[in-house]
Amino acid sequence: MSPARQGPLAGLRVVEMAGLAPGPFAAMMLADMGAEVLRIDRPEPAARPMPQQYWFTDRNRRSIALDLKTEEGVSFVRRLIGEANALIEGFRPGVMERLGLGPEECLALNPRLVYGRMTGWGQEGPLAQAPGHDINYIALAGVLDAIGPADGPPVLPLNLAGDFGGGGMYLAFGIACGLIEAARSGKGQVVDAAMVDGAASLMTYFYGYMAGGKWPGRGRSTLGGAAPHYGVYETKDGKYVSVGSAEPKFYAELLRLTGLDRDPVPDRADPANWPELRNRLAAIFRTRTRDEWTALMESAEVCYAPVLDLREAAAHPHNAARRTFIEIDGHVQPAPAPRFSRTPSAMPEAGVAAGVDARAALQGWGLPAEEVDALVARGVIS
């Protein structure tokens, strides 16, 4: 494997300590932008529920499998870190320190290093050592309570707001910020990226509404699904469409295309009228299939889109025209984002299993082949 070295981060080296969802996602984002990311795996990694070819977030990275229970293995990681621009680790607070790879040791041997730490609760605080998952972090941040119907329980937004949005993306952003600052100052630093912090940050807009006395609670706001002009409707064929006709001109067009403008309609400015308006729109949308509504509305001034499943999304003409999705080794997956006009990212390459390409990976970092072979012979590298 020869991962892409093209993009705005080309020339930067990142050591990734293998972990779960948010850390690998951050590493994927950096690698997609051209960074050379080397993943440090365990000699016997935990079993996965799918073959390696389907772990798309592993793409664009090489892997070596190291036994960090040995001093030689730890020393070798220190050597790699000494040549890196950034580090990603997602262990519980204190684990890297116990390995002798904490920030103090790593910054001492590489003062320019940006040391990225990914946790759920953060490096300190009453819950720092508590176990948790995405659902717990977004619950504590106020995200989970805000999503779902007013008359029902909160609805899980997959693990987008904690693991990937509040976690991985904030870690990648923090590392990028640290790298920019290190280029100016010549000094590295620690990036403490906690999913609870990132999830809370994603809610900044809505905390503003709460402060202004305008937050009505779960399922009662326009963006929360209460407004008839901003929501999802079922169609005749049991599929769904999305309508976002928030502005008056788009709402007027929605009324015209649905035929609601032929009869008097309640004023949408009064939330008391929302249930009636929603019921009337729901009845109308059930009279045609999703594709029939799409043919009528997709190019109209309505703010409309069909609700697509994962397969349909990749095949939609707009996404196809923009190459929002790409195919790697026969598997469709999202393309790198965002896009750059002068330093575009290269086509990603599929991820590899733990330690598969250790020799190529380390030679890419400048280690002589005979030294790599000696490390393999001694069992330091699997």
163 in active site: yes
Query: 175 with 16: CB under 8 angstroms?
Result: no
Closest residue by Cα to residue 333 from 123, 105, 118, 25: 25
Dihedral angle sign, alpha carbons of residues 46, 51, 56, 60: positive
Structure tokens at 329: 């080794």
In DSSP notation, 75-118 reads HHHHHHHHT-SEEEE-SPTTHHHHTT-SHHHHHHH-TT-EEEEE
**Cα atoms found within 13 Å of the Cα of residue 52, Cβ hemisphere only:** 14
Cα gap 174→188, rounded to integer Å: 12
3-class DSSP assignment, residue 214: coil
Sequence-separated (6 or more) residues with CB below 8 Å from residue 252? 261
Strand partners for 36? 13
Give the residue carrying structure tokens 């090489």: 62
Radius of gyration of the chain from its Cα atoms, rounded to whole angstroms: 25
Cα gap 321→315, rounded to integer Å: 10
Q: Going by DSSP bridges, is the β-strand pair 240-244/61-65 parallel, antiparallel, or unpaired?
A: unpaired
Cα gap 82→96, rounded to integer Å: 16
**Which member of 134, 163, 192, 197 is catalytic?**
163
**Which member of 67, 133, 291, 316 is catalytic?**
133
Cα gap 88→172, rounded to integer Å: 9
**Would you tell me how many other CB atoms lie within 10 Å of the CB of residue 212?**
8
Query: 106 with 87: CB under 8 angstroms?
Result: yes
32 in active site: no
Give the residue carrying structure tokens 């799409």: 294
Q: Which residues are catalytic?
A: 133, 163
